[in-house]
Amino acid sequence: MKRFDPRWLLLGLLPCPVAVADLPYTFKAGDPIRASELNANFQYVESLAKAGDAELLVRRKANLSATRFESVVTVPDTATNGWVLRSYVTGCGDPVLRIDSDAQFPVNKDVALVVRPGETLYAKCASASATDTSVGYFMFDEQ
């Protein structure tokens, strides 16, 4: 029997050439993960790498809290069409987002979020019970 190497999990935290929304399986905090599902995701990523069809994702790290918004990314003015939020992983579940000083909104996984050049995306933990800071990783496609 093969042992699972936990270093493979670090791949999810690295910028990689994959549109994460297209992975065969996605997981949330607390979801049970089967080896067959994880292996299917790795096979998908490998097939994209071999095909050369994927774009590079940009990864940003943010320390999130439940009490205040923290800056995730400011899209450079040189970005022609802005950046699209493709995926995120946080220690506190789904975050609440805000662009610049606009009203806050929950993440909608069915709608692409485009952050335009010069705009700043902010995030915080949605749960008021999250008293400590939590790390969040946000992956974007450069447009």
Burial of 133 (0-12, 13-18, 19+ CB in 10 A): middle
Q: What is the pLDDT along the chain (143 residues), one digit of tens a residue?
A: 445 444 444 444 444 444 445 677 777 888 888 888 877 777 776 665 555 444 567 889 999 988 889 999 999 998 888 899 988 888 888 899 999 999 999 988 888 899 999 999 999 988 766 556 788 889 888 76
| pLDDT, position 131 | 59
Which structural domains are found in the chain, ordered by start? Answer: 6-51 (no CATH), 57-142 (2.60.120)
| pLDDT, position 111 | 85
pTM over the 0.85 mark: no
| pLDDT, position 10 | 43
Q: Which two tokens stand for residue 26?
A: 């996605």
| pLDDT, position 14 | 44
- The strand pairing partners of 139, in sequence order, are 59, 87
| pLDDT, position 128 | 64
Q: DSSP readout, the chain?
A: -PPP-GGGGGGGGS--SS-GGGSS----TT----HHHHHHHHHHHHHHHHHT-PPPEEEEEEEE-SSS-EEEEE--TT-SS-EEEEEEEETTSSEEEEETTSPPEE--TTS-EEEPTT-EEEEEES-TT--S-EEEEEEEEE-
